[in-house]
Structure 1
Amino acid sequence: MNTIVDFQQFNNATLEQVRTRFEEEFGVMTYFMNPAPRPCFNKICMSELHQSQTSLEKMQGEVIANGKVSQANYLVLASDIPGIFNLGGDLSVFGDLIRAKARDHLLAYAKLCVNNVWTFYNMQAPVTTISLVQGQAMGGGFEAALAAHIMVAEKSALMGLPEVLFNLFPGMGALSFLSRKIGMPAAEKMVRSGKIYTGEELYQLGVVDVLAEDGQGQYALNNWIKKNHRSLNSFQAINRAKQRVNPLTIEELYDITEIWVDAALRLDERNLKVMERLVRAQNSKVNSDVAHIQEKQSA
């Protein structure tokens, strides 16, 4: 049974770009991203995600559903946009801030990104975080998916870190998360290459934890939860132990973000033009996808 949970109970905010769903049987809370005008991490989407995550954390996973208190055991990050998980940072905003040399604003944006991935990774509540990648997860979208305790991805999902195309690097957690999963040499190779990987390729590399057939991501996620729910306490304890053996701190993430901001401010006009081309490509894809959906709905 699915129940829509209204987070106004916790923070009096009206969510515009995040939809929530709570399933009582296993205690699965899902946040569906729906950022506009492009499916990337704008400030509204990130702020709503962070508010929702911190509220759930503060309540130790307790939610009000059907007039009673229920426990959220899992927090899933997914997308409402067909074919796209998230395309990453708002490159249009990046370009404007870089041209204006607005370091403080660029750093504030970057830290909001970091606060989101850190809360998802370091959830201080008995809640297992899961990313469900169906479609494209690029740059910061891939970093957000990597922050989860478990990553579920469909075989043809596309993930990558294309920042090297405009002479930058992914500065909101990619190296930190990847190095703890597959080792620093493999993580650095992935970051330096700018290569786009399929979900199946990343499963073989050990980045994706649960591989799903195309169109079956939600089914694979539900199946994993059903199989592992009885040992949830053990799983969560082992995950905390892993984090202690190879600890990650928010200070590490903040320090890397400072490096990212300084590097971003050194980009020249040629690099920024590449950013602009990527923004146009994102807009073109969104517009063509919307037209395709409208065509299907009117048929």
Structure 2
Amino acid sequence: MAHLQAVGTALQPQHNAYTQLSTYFDPHSQVAWGYMHAAPRPCFTPTLLRELLAWGNGMVGMIDDPAQLDVKYFVLASKVPDTFSLGGDLSLFMQHIEARDRDALYRYAVACIDCSYAVHSHLNRPNVTSIALVQGQALGGGFESALAANVLIAERGAKMGLPEILFNLFPGMGAMTFLGRRVGHHQAEKIIRSGKLYLAEELYAMGVVDVLAEPGEGEGAVYDHIRREEKSRNGILALRAAREVSQPAPYDELIRITEIWVDAALRLEPRDLRMMERLVSRQTGKTETAAAAGPSKAFGA
């Protein structure tokens, strides 16, 4: 965590029992950091989803306990070099689809929605701001989880996209809801239908990314943003509350869309599943290559 220490923080490790999430708290700025590192691929495994929800519940406990410091900001980031998140657990998708297990696929999808909604709703606490820090690739559900945040910060050169259309599906865990509220639903659908990867610079120009950071300086950009927000925090939080009234993203909407996704997933044909399998193989290869290269500069290399 050398890069974070360089910006003047004194991070305290939090829950030690997590296996796919490393959490820290900065008591000075009242910022909670969550760094994902799922295995065997940096995607949303059931274990990571459980740990993200437990982290959220732990932060709520801190906020609601008068004896503890409040959490004013929480940041979702990644500990995996060059990768924020590869999205949904495609191997698990294929397993449930081939078994025709709609209930299991639906439970997984709802767990993803629960995590994204906790981020989007800033833990249902009005004085908390959620931030996503994208360093490297954010694909599919990884991009959706970043879009769910109140503030999306990305480093130049980071790539984000929704490739689901390539295997005859669509991103069903929040893309239409969160992306549509950032750029309009017509533009959101164009992005989804393209299946393209977009540079952070392109998405910043579209209004998808809120803050563009230089490569390797994402954590510093988070603190720069927090310092700016603190100067007008009352007005900014009030403006956000007004936007949530005029452009709500209700939980029920997310659930109804993910039900459409589950039914569409169960209609995939063998050729679609083969494409999904090829994507899993490519993701696994990239992960192994990154692991062999060692940790990124942001983590003390």
TM-score bracket, normalised by the shorter chain, equals: over 0.9
Deviations 1:28-74 (A, max 9, x none): 111010101100000000110011113323443669xxxx7212110
* Superposition deviation, residue 213 in structure 1: 1.2
Which deviates the most, 221-230 or 265-274?
A: 221-230
For structure 2, the residue ranges without an aligned partner over 5 or more in a row are 1-8
Cα distance in 2 for partners of 1:181, 1:89 equals 22
Q: Which residue of 2 aligns with 1:29?
A: 32
Which deviates the most, 99-108 or 215-224?
A: 215-224
Write the mapping of 1:97-116 to structure 2, written as runs, cut at 5 A. 97-116=96-115
8 Å Cα contact 1:166/1:271 also seen in 2: yes
Q: How large is the Cα RMSD of the aligned pairs?
A: 1.8
1:281 is aligned to 2:282: yes
* Superposition deviation, residue 3 in structure 1: 3.0
Cα distance in 2 for partners of 1:213, 1:5 equals 26
1:2 is aligned to 2:5: no
8 Å Cα contact 2:63/2:69 also seen in 1: no
Cα distance in 2 for partners of 1:36, 1:228 equals 35
SS of corresponding position for 2:241: helix
Q: Percentage identity across aligned positions? A: 46
Cα distance in 1 for partners of 2:191, 2:143 equals 12
* Superposition deviation, residue 207 in structure 1: 0.2
Q: Which residue of 1 aligns with 2:77?
A: 78
The letter of the residue matching 2:34 is Y
The letter of the residue matching 1:78 is A
**Higher RCO (C-alpha 8 Å, min separation 6):** 2
Write the mapping of 1:145-294 to structure 2, written as runs, cut at 5 A. 145-293=146-294
Cα distance in 2 for partners of 1:292, 1:97 equals 33
Distance of aligned partners of 1:289 and 1:62 in 2 relative to their CA distance in 1, 3 Å threshold: farther
Distance of aligned partners of 1:58 and 1:160 in 2 relative to their CA distance in 1, 3 Å threshold: same
Which deviates the most, 147-156 or 285-294?
A: 285-294
Cα distance in 1 for partners of 2:94, 2:257 equals 20
* Superposition deviation, residue 237 in structure 1: 1.9
The letter of the residue matching 1:233 is N
Query: How many positions carry a matched residue from both structures?
Result: 287
Consecutive aligned runs of 4 or more in structure 1 exceeding 3 Å deviation: none
Write the mapping of 1:26-105 to structure 2, written as runs, cut at 5 A. 26-60=29-63, 69-105=68-104
The letter of the residue matching 1:98 is I
* Superposition deviation, residue 6 in structure 1: 2.8
* Superposition deviation, residue 202 in structure 1: 0.2
For structure 1, the residue ranges without an aligned partner over 5 or more in a row are 9-13
Cα distance in 2 for partners of 1:272, 1:165 equals 11
* Superposition deviation, residue 232 in structure 1: 1.9
Which deviates the most, 260-269 or 47-56?
A: 47-56
* Superposition deviation, residue 230 in structure 1: 2.6
Q: Which residue of 2 aligns with 1:124?
A: 124
SS of corresponding position for 2:198: strand
